[in-house]
Structure 1
Amino acid sequence: MSRRRLQQLLLAAVVLVHAAAVGCRAFQIEEATANLDEWANFRTIQGTGGWSARGGQGRNPYVLSAAPCGSSTGSAIAAAANMAAATLGTETDGSILCPSSLNSVVGIKPTVGLTSRAGVVPISPRQDTIGPICRTVADAVQVLDAIVGYDSRDAKATRAASKYIPPGGYVQFLKPDGLKGKRIGIPNGFFNFPSGTVQQIVYQQLLDTVRKQGAVVIENLDIANLTVIQDVLNNGQQIVLPAEFKSSLNTYLSDLSYSPVRSLAEIIAFNDAHPIELIFLVAENTTGIGALERAIIHQLNKLSADGLEKLMKDEQLDAIITPNDSVSTVLAIGGMPAITVPAGYGKRGVPFGICFGGLKGYEPRLIEMAYAFEQATKVRKPPKFLRGTF
């Protein structure tokens, strides 16, 4: 399918935007919906992946009792279960990478600003990004080609990221030999699976495959301050994200042509009978992006610059490889891209994925590596909707 034709289909589609800050819908020619985490699970710390009041609990099509993860749950489920050829998800921290991994599909988390966030309920302008979730890398890249670019409704971010869009688009990077000559880092702290487990064995085999495909794999690398970066409850994110959420959400609601609520305070009042609005309440008590929040944002930017960015530049890496969405926070605070590809299935049939992550604008090389990996391994198999206790 040509890029122009895909763009025409997307423009003709009816995209239903649910009130979820990190979630999206499968695009559709007529109309379709997907069941996503309510408010992207940014409403409470007690939520479960893939639950909403309207649709109930989303279910993993491989093992129905297994976690489908969120918050772009329905998008990943729809792609995995062959209900949609292509879907969209959004991510603030893990919401494309996690459901894609656990539902055995391909998810692309683009560099922040590469795709417009206009019309999407926001959490953080620093971290929110929209990307495709599909069954194959080629399908996902076709969609990515159609949705990148400048948008006056998200002007600052899309203008800044437009420099990363390569002439001729992204499909040209679907190369079967895309791993050849690439330098790939394996950072410490992620592949911590017990010896002899399915995951430990399979991931080791997959890394051997990456080497056989011509990549240089460099192990035992350290991301500076990784423990601090991953501690989202104590690294400042617990302060700045609610403040960004309140400010961004109030702006979003005020811009709607019709809405029964116009502010976070009104949403809380609407839901005041439900005592699980913890994050909403924290966000409502913020007073904007002040000196404290700006200092935290500066510190998060420094953690990213001194961490993964420095490591990749010092080691001249094209990517790092990690399991599932385990590196999502490292990527999130830097606005960095990643692609997750099906990697295998556990003893009970639950999928897991492998993630290729890189610096801003590294989409071309990530696509080369992810596609070459997919073609060399061909891991993905259709779901069987297995029942039983997980």
Structure 2
Amino acid sequence: MALISSSSLTFFFLASTAAAFAAAAAAMAHSSTIDYAEFTIADIQYSFADGTLTSRQLVQYYLNRIHTFNPYLHAVIELNPNVLYDADLADRRRLPTSGLLHGIPILLKDSIATRDRINTTAGSLALLSSIVPRDAGIVRRLRAAGAIILGKASMSEWANFRSLYAPNGWSARGGRGRNPYAAAVDPCGSSSGSAIAAAAGMATATIGTETDGSIICPAAANSVVGIKPTVGLTSRAGVVPISPRQDTVGPIARTVADAVAVLDVIVGYDKRDAEATEAAAKIVPKGGYWQFLKEDGLEGKRVGILRKGFFRFAEGSLEEKAFASHFDVMRQKGAILVDNLEISNVSIILDPFKSGEEAALLAEFKLSLNAYLSELEISPVRSLADIITFNNEHKTEERIEEYGQDVFLAAENTNGLGAVERFAIKRMAELSEDGLERLMKKKKLDAVVTPDASGASILAIGGYPECAGWLCELRGSFWHLLWGIEGV
């Protein structure tokens, strides 16, 4: 499925070192008056190339914004203490042939491991001062591409899998994240800080993770672009897990083009997540996804609209008018809209008890988390049971009396993948095949669209990809099954 970009798709790197040095003095003064929060990756690379901006200046700009806004927004949980050194290194190593992410500051969700001086805690005090054995797979790819790790973004503690009662965007380490556009609006989770930071211009792009809605929901809620890749397209090695069936890692940014630029870097095979990434790596298109950012990308594409159960807007409402306008634009761009569609078994899929998702996730979480903890070089906790005990011993800091840890307790009571869990996994596969896949094939659809993230579980249980984006007043989530078959 092709994507439409709002930014320029072509840029040139200037090779004149002399010109770059000549412009350096002017750049120092010039950069302090420019709002880089609105710059795309292409804009930034233009500025790097013509000598009007350095990675150090860009990092300092983001640090200033973080120091100004983070006390209120709680988007960033920890900064990289070596970030200015890393920026200087990127400036020294920049070449005319450097890639799109060279020198670009990226924030990582706090569940993504970095083998440096930054903690990886999933928002929990239980993992504070633990030491991971190595960088996560996607972090190695980012560093190899020249990206700068700015720090860690806050998140819903334990990816919203500790309790049913903790609010979105809250963690013991990071506090409660706030939507930068409207404080009263739920920022969603669990990649809340990644979305808030992207929206507030605290980094050029961020990375989130998703098991069921955790990239898409906060991206939509904070009016940014989030891409949830097909499970296995990006490595989960070194990421605090919930489910190897459903976990995935993806970019969050202010434009589709920026999100795709990051996606191109983080996809691919990883021997530490071989089972998932080996098959998916074969469907990554040669040349990456950036090549599909074309103005005529929707030409001839069949896009289904899932009305029933999703479009609940009052007739004549602002939301209804916004979507009608958006669909008109899609038609003008050559898309063939197939309206009033329905997934026959959607009510079962969206009920985690009936679908089997709840039973499977609880067991998978305990197994996966215990395996992750066992690999840590240093850690005060080595199992889910240890974390439950830690929380009980630190009730005030972890707000156990208020939010509890009911999901943890339910997961701890599981005993591996038994008959019940295996039946649940089989049932979800059948529901996916009989539901979304059957609809897509029957109607010959390239993509399906809904107005929000309320259908995330449909994509979650099938491992399908999804993209959340916005246009003017519109916030929408776009589901691309074609990506799941042929490369995203």
TM-score normalised to the size of structure 1?
Answer: 0.86
Equivalent residue for 1:336, pick from 464, 468, 475? 464
1:55–1:353 CA distance, 2 compared to 1 (3 A): same
The answer on whether the counterparts of 1:304 and 1:333 sit within 8 Å (CA) in structure 2 is yes
Q: Shift in Å at residue 32 of structure 1?
A: 2.1
Partner of 1:327: 455
Task: Deviation per CA, 1:156-211: give whole Å up to 9, x if none.
Answer: 00012112200111110000111111000012321121212221221111112111
What is the percentage of aligned positions where both structures have the same residue?
Answer: 54
Partner of 1:124: 243
Whether 2:179 is the aligned partner of 1:60: answer: yes
Amino acid at match of 1:307: G
Task: Deviation per CA, 1:112-164: give whole Å up to 9, x if none.
Answer: 00000011110111110000000001100000000000001111000121122
Find the aligned partners of 1:104 and 1:9 in 2 and give their Cα distance: 21
Equivalent residue for 2:368, pick from 234, 243, 248? 248
Task: Deviation per CA, 1:20-75: give whole Å up to 9, x if none.
Answer: 69xx9999736423221111111111121111112211011101222111110000
Q: Shift in Å at residue 232 of structure 1?
A: 1.6
The answer on whether the counterparts of 1:110 and 1:363 sit within 8 Å (CA) in structure 2 is no
1:129–1:16 CA distance, 2 compared to 1 (3 A): farther
Equivalent residue for 1:70, pick from 168, 189, 197? 189
The answer on whether the counterparts of 1:7 and 1:147 sit within 8 Å (CA) in structure 2 is no
Find the aligned partners of 1:256 and 1:290 in 2 and give their Cα distance: 27
The answer on whether the counterparts of 2:206 and 2:252 sit within 8 Å (CA) in structure 1 is yes
SS of residue paired to 1:164: coil
Higher helix proportion (structure 1 or 2): 2
Partner of 1:382: none
Q: Cα RMSD (Å) of the superposition?
A: 2.5
Structural mapping, 1:259-270, within 5 Å: 259-270=379-390
Partner of 1:353: 475
Equivalent residue for 1:293, pick from 421, 431, 448? 421
SS of residue paired to 2:462: coil
1:7–1:242 CA distance, 2 compared to 1 (3 A): farther
Q: Shift in Å at residue 18 of structure 1?
A: 3.0
1:109–1:38 CA distance, 2 compared to 1 (3 A): same
Equivalent residue for 1:181, pick from 295, 300, 310? 300
1:199–1:3 CA distance, 2 compared to 1 (3 A): farther
Equivalent residue for 1:6, pick from 101, 107, 125? 101
Find the aligned partners of 1:303 and 1:30 in 2 and give their Cα distance: 40
TM-score normalised to the size of structure 2?
Answer: 0.69
Partner of 1:373: none
Amino acid at match of 1:48: P
Structural mapping, 1:140-289, within 5 Å: 140-187=259-306, 188-272=308-392, 273=395, 274-275=400-401, 276-289=404-417
Larger radius of gyration: 2
Find the aligned partners of 2:434 and 2:355 in 1 and give their Cα distance: 15
- Higher RCO (CA 8 Å, separation ≥ 6 residues): 1
The answer on whether the counterparts of 2:357 and 2:461 sit within 8 Å (CA) in structure 1 is no
Name structure 2 gaps, 5 residues minimum. 1-44, 46-96, 108-113, 125-137
Q: Shift in Å at residue 79 of structure 1?
A: 0.6
Partner of 1:136: 255
1:175–1:241 CA distance, 2 compared to 1 (3 A): same
Find the aligned partners of 1:325 and 1:281 in 2 and give their Cα distance: 27
SS of residue paired to 1:300: helix
The answer on whether the counterparts of 1:318 and 1:365 sit within 8 Å (CA) in structure 2 is no
Name structure 1 gaps, 5 residues minimum. 346-351, 367-390
Find the aligned partners of 1:181 and 1:33 in 2 and give their Cα distance: 41
Q: Shift in Å at residue 359 of structure 1?
A: 2.1
Task: Deviation per CA, 1:203-239: give whole Å up to 9, x if none.
Answer: 1111121112111000111212100001124322221
What is the number of residues matched between the two proteins?
358
Deviates more, 1:28-37 or 1:230-239: 28-37
1:228–1:221 CA distance, 2 compared to 1 (3 A): same
Amino acid at match of 1:117: R
Q: Shift in Å at residue 10 of structure 1?
A: 8.2
